[in-house]
Amino acid sequence: MKQQVEYQTSWWSRAPRSPYFVYLLISPLFLILFAYVVYPFYSTFLQSFSGDDTLANYRKFFSLESTANLEALWNSVYISIISVICCAVVGVTMAFLLERYEFPGRRLLSVLVLVPMALPPLVGVLSFTFLYGESGIFPRFFQQLFALEEVPFSLKGIWGVVVVHTFTMYTYFYLTASAAIKGLDPSLEEAATSLGAGRIRVWRKVILPMLTPSIVASSLLVFMVSMASYTAPLMFGVERTMTMQIYLARTNGNLDMAATQSTILSIVSILFLLIMRWYQNRRNYQNLSKGVSVHRSEVTSKPLKTISIFLSFVGTLILILPILVLILISFSKDGAWTIQILPTDYTLDHYKALFTDERTWRPIWNSIQMGAVATVGNILFGVAAAYAMVRLSFKGKSLLDTLIMIPWALPGTVVAVNLIAAFSTESPFAFNQVLIGTFWILPLAYFVRHLPLVFRSTSASLLQLDQSIEEASRSLGAGWWYTFKRIVLPLTLSGIIAGTLLALVQSIGEFVASILLYSTTTIPLSVAIFQKLYAFKFGTACAYGVLQILLILLVLLISEKLSKGSAGSAI
């Protein structure tokens, strides 16, 4: 099999050898990021300066006469700080209890502890209002039990937001802390003890310092997500938060103010993203020693055992109730549940209607279509960007990485405002079309918001793929494309699929940007839930919610299978 070595001197064969060729390859990536991340951001930024004079909007924002905006900023920061503290306490405690102690109910609890991850934000808040809100099941139960005039307690206002944040975000702390605890070599503690350190000293000098990196990283993350939180303030009627102010300014048509608020919120978010990345690069995570045997202390004394059984029962209940209540209400007849503790009449109609009634099926189909379009974009961009990041060497790598992460750090509300600023007029990046009000704006928003998902999971599996495997293929005569098709793609497919499913399911459930951008012809699923809620069609809203949860569980299950049990973190 003689191979003829040819000497091509055409431009095509010489170009790939040029050191500048790589920039030709990565230019589309930067173009996309510029068009749909930087340019919209810049448009908002410009708009924030368009007023009576350049700084008018900022003066209004920081003015001491009408303090609504400053109050909102303070509230957002306040809620975020309290959320971080609550999440840290709950998350780290749970991690310690579940990793270090053996008690009845531990196994069940350690599975259920991740349930909040399966709750889409809107659906989670929804079930919390059904359970603990002013007309919720628990407050009414106690009201009737003690025959009170009014409900004895209910979740509302800022504390309602904090409780929901704690429930949905403590998992960030739990995941990183339990990973850190698992990696904590027990012999370190034993060494400290053998050197004469007491229990408290071991904690202070050995365990806490080892956990610090994970706690700091999670704190930054929770702070960022809390600042961006929109659904909980909306449902608990806390209007004075940044995201709500943006939403209100936008719905009142005060676009310049919305732009100003967005810019300020963006700066805070991006700042936090940069701090987080700096911190993660600086901190060398705990060295995992091999064959760590996690020793769980068994709870033995009788009273402690009883207490632990009770507590794990309560914990299990708290974790599982939001889903149970959704399922329960999804079977209840719309309009029949008024002042009773639990719904009275039940029906299967809502589920039948989901797939048979054109009006209830429509939003599902819309979301599937728009999510699919966005996800196809995410796959193409994510895989290409991951390959460029891992395999090519060029200047501007960290810029590319940061640009991809920024849309993820930006609140959905801000992403929406940015897209409005950029695409409510004809734009060359939208082929000289106005995108606002069309089908395409939501897929674009989903694409931008979920930019890092496929990218991250793909680059993680690419990093595991030894470069010499690609070289082996090349040495056997395979060209770049053949190698990619037969070697790289099959070996990274699980990572690509995991990221793709996550992006798809998140797009289908996306609410925060959708509520600002949707057009009445293509109402997405989440907005439909919101509308059903306000039309008191709780049954249908919950049936939608249950459908979403099933979808998420399915995706989690598949991803778990694909990654063979290695838990990925959201960071």
Partner 1 sequence: MKSVHIENVTKKFGDVLGVSELNLEVKPGEFFTFLGPSGCGKTTTLRMIAGFYYPTTGKVYFDGQDVTTLQPNKRNIGMVFQNYALFPHMTVDENIAFGLQVRKLPKAEIRQKVDRIRGLVHLAQYGSRKINELSGGQQQRVALARALVIEPDILLLDEPLSNLDAKLREETRVEIKRIQSELGVTTIYVTHDQTEAMSMSDRIMVMESGLVKQIGTPQEIYHRPNNRFVATFIGETNMLEMKVTSIKEEVITVEHANGLVLHGLSGGKADGVAPQVGGTIYVSIRPEAFEAGPGDNTIKGTIEFVEFTGLSVNYLIRVNGTSLKAMIINGGSDIKAIGDDIELHIPSRNLYFLAE
Residues of this chain that bind partner 1 (CB under 8 A): 1, 3, 5-7, 16-17, 466, 468-469, 471-479, 482, 486-487, 490-491
Q: How many residues does the chain have?
A: 571
CB of 564 to partner 1, least distance (A): 13
> Which value, to the nearest 10 degrees, does the dihedral of the CA atoms of residues 238, 241, 243, 249 take?
90
Query: Would you say 88 and 215 are in contact if contact means Cβ atoms under 8 Å apart?
Result: yes
CB of 555 to partner 1, least distance (A): 23
> What tokens were used for 514?
């959708």
Pick 157 or 479: Cβ nearer partner 1: 479
CB of 467 to partner 1, least distance (A): 9
Query: Would you say 90 and 166 are in contact if contact means Cβ atoms under 8 Å apart?
Result: yes
CB of 215 to partner 1, least distance (A): 37
Pick 494 or 531: Cβ nearer partner 1: 494
Rounded Cα distance, 433 and 493, in Å: 35
End-to-end CA separation in angstroms for the chain: 51
Pick 196 or 477: Cβ nearer partner 1: 477
CB of 4 to partner 1, least distance (A): 9
> What tokens were used for 27?
């230019």
Instruction: Report the candidate in 90, 109, 91 with the shortest Cα–Cα distance to residue 314.
Output: 109
Contact partners, residue 395, CB within 8 Å, separation at least 6: none
Rounded Cα distance, 23 and 522, in Å: 39
Pick 392 or 472: Cβ nearer partner 1: 472
Pick 3 or 194: Cβ nearer partner 1: 3
Pick 142 or 482: Cβ nearer partner 1: 482
Rounded Cα distance, 518 and 438, in Å: 8
Pick 201 or 474: Cβ nearer partner 1: 474
CB of 5 to partner 1, least distance (A): 6
CB of 384 to partner 1, least distance (A): 21
Integer-rounded Cα Rg, in Å, for the chain is 26
Rounded Cα distance, 413 and 76, in Å: 14
Strand partners, 101: 297
